[in-house]
Amino acid sequence: MIEVLFVLFAVVALGGAFGVVISKSPVASLLFMVATLASVAGIYVLFEAHFLAAIQVLVYAGAIMVLFLFVIMLLNLGHDYRADLRFGLWSLLAFVVAGLTAGVLAQGFMDVGDTGFREDGAAIAAALDEAAREEGVAGVIAEPLFTDYVVAFELMGLLLLVAIVAAVVLAKPRN
């Protein structure tokens, strides 16, 4: 059952990712992107990472992509996209970078295949299950996030705030 669902979500996620690149209309690209994000969320659920799945849909599919859609529609890119597609040196470079990234990833997976996963993986999974029963699925993530990694977390928030302020300053007309 889980394998079947995994294959289903994986196919949709990969197909969606191809669709984002291939489709000619920006709105279609965006919908493919939403499908990919939702499928990845489905895979998270299969891994029993429920909280991550919910946040993935809530933040990426539900908020950020809606903003993308908003911008695409406001700029009315849906009818004239060809000027935005540039070929030449850049697309060549993009292919090279994508190929290298895929190679590195493939190498990484092969290494994992050779050495196997962590030996204490089952113990960690059991401990996580126990923690999820005790504190709820959100607590398992929230506890380390607000204790061990609280400085990094706050810095991340500050970074986002800086980006928002910068965007407002840039968008403001000068007088």
The yes or no reply on residue 128 touching other proteins (CB under 8 A) is: no
Nearest to 124 by CA among 114, 132, 116, 113: 132
The yes or no reply on residue 126 touching other proteins (CB under 8 A) is: no
Burial of 101 (0-12, 13-18, 19+ CB in 10 A): exposed
Q: From residue 105, how far is each of 16, 74, 78 by CA, in Å?
A: 19, 37, 34
Rounded Cα distance between 4 and 6, Å, is 5
The yes or no reply on residue 57 touching other proteins (CB under 8 A) is: yes
The helix/strand/coil state of 30 is: helix
Instruction: Decide whether 96 or 130 has the Cβ nearer to other proteins.
Output: 130
The tokens for 147 are 């204790």
The yes or no reply on residue 55 touching other proteins (CB under 8 A) is: yes
The yes or no reply on residue 35 touching other proteins (CB under 8 A) is: no
Binding piece for other proteins, criterion CB under 8 A, among 65-73, 93-101, 122-130, 163-171: 65-73
In the window 66-105, what residues touch other proteins (CB under 8 A)? 66-67, 69-70, 73-74, 78
Binding piece for other proteins, criterion CB under 8 A, among 84-92, 104-112, 116-124, 132-140: 132-140
The yes or no reply on residue 168 touching other proteins (CB under 8 A) is: no
Nearest-10 Cα torsion for 31, 11, 53, 155: -70
The tokens for 25 are 């209309």
Which residues would be at the binding site for other proteins (CB under 8 A)?
A: 27, 31, 34, 50-51, 53-55, 57-58, 61-63, 66-67, 69-70, 73-74, 78, 132, 136-139
